[in-house]
Amino acid sequence: VKAQLEERENKKFTTFKAVEFRSQVVAGRNYFIKVQVDDEEFVHLRVFQSLPHENKPLALSSYQTNKAKHDELAY
């Protein structure tokens, strides 16, 4: 989903490292992921994975920028 975020933010991220995640089962699965994009900058992502039989790619549902390492990753 890095490319989806870069397109929405209109910028490239040289660092893109997942440091924490949670998941939620829905009609598929939501992943809530804290991603380090710079030394002290983090982004929180919500990524949706559809059910296997739907055969769809991962989708970036929403995101929050300007997060810090200590910010809580919430649903």
pTM across the whole model: 0.92
- Round to whole Å and give the CA distance between 75 and 14: 26
Q: Mind listing the domains of the chain with CATH numbers?
A: 1-67 (3.10.450.10)
Q: How confident is the model at residue 75 (pLDDT cuts 50, 70, 90)?
A: confident
- Round to whole Å and give the CA distance between 31 and 4: 15
Kindly report, residue by residue over 23-56, the tens digit of the pLDDT.
999 999 999 999 999 999 999 999 999 999 999 9
Looking at residue 74, its pLDDT comes to: 83
Kindly report, residue by residue over 6-19, the tens digit of the pLDDT.
999 999 999 999 99
